[in-house]
Amino acid sequence: MTSDPKAVQLWRGRARARYPKQAALYTDEQIERSMAGWLGLMEPLGFAEHEDQTRYLLLCVLLSPEQKQSNLVQGVLRRVLSHTDWEPDQRLEFLYRHIVERPVSPDEEDFGPDFVPSAVPPSVRG
């Protein structure tokens, strides 16, 4: 799937409709910029089923601003998404169970952006 503007706007609308509270933390432009980057990675990461694509793209609004700024959370996110030995639904289940709606620890050490190397670029930060 490409990141054409109509697809990005469609997914932004779905995110706002399904998760209005979480999406309210972001402007339309922030969501669209994040969605465009994530749409471009969907095929290489193997998200082919509609349900997996939906769960994957909705992470754009389900991740809190604090999680998007956390090097630890971003490292785990990149590592899990790029771990293609797991099926797409297994990767998403792990993220939804262990990352989504979990607060970032105020004592988190800054391990730096290279803490968890991955093929997925840092553009997933949104």
Say if residues 36 and 3 touch (Cβ distance below 8 Å). yes
- Distance, in Å, from the CA atom of 33 to the CA atom of 102, rounded to the nearest integer, reads 24
Specify burial of residue 114 (Cβ count, 10 A radius: 0-12, 13-18, 19+).
Answer: exposed
Q: How many domains does the chain have?
A: 1
Q: d(Cα 9, Cα 39) in Å, to the nearest integer?
A: 12
The pair of structure tokens assigned to 36 is 């465009």
* 77, burial (CB in 10 Å: exposed 0-12, middle 13-18, buried 19+): buried
Task: Give the span between the Cα atoms of 23 and 58, in whole angstroms.
Answer: 10
pLDDT in tens, the chain (126 residues): 556 889 999 999 999 999 999 999 999 999 999 999 999 999 999 999 999 999 999 999 999 999 998 888 888 999 999 999 999 999 999 999 999 988 887 776 655 555 544 444 445 544
Q: Residue 60: which domain range? A: 5-125
The alpha carbon of residue 85 and the mean position of all alpha carbons in its chain are separated, in whole angstroms, by 19
